[in-house]
Amino acid sequence: MRTPDPARQWGWKTIFADLADQIDTGVLAPGARLPSRAQLAALYGGVNQTTVARALGSLETTGRTRGQQGSHIAVVGPATVLPPAPAVPPDDPGTTDAPTS
């Protein structure tokens, strides 16, 4: 893990972006364990652990990490890209919602 600049103003979005970049570029490889919330808060200039938790939640939402409450957080890999939704077939032109007489 790269050491973040503690003098920088870190918010949850910038922490998320920094960790996401490290995961996406392979600095943090799949299977690696992230430091604890308290350790990350200290690394990122003493931010509140709630700020770190929000960043970690976004990493999990994007499929980059996996973790459980009270346990470590493991790197899964770069962001999960969902396949496009299947096309919805057009309505059958032989049917209508209009009542028949």
- Ranges of each domain in the chain: 12-75
Other CB atoms within a 10 A radius of the CB of residue 6 amount to 12
Domain range 12-75, CATH architecture: Orthogonal Bundle (1.10)
pTM for the complete prediction?
0.73
pLDDT tens per residue, range 23-63: 999 999 999 999 999 999 999 999 999 999 999 999 999 99
Strands (E), 7-99: 65-67, 73-75
What's the angle, vertex CA 54, arms to CA 53 and CA 56, rounded to 5?
65
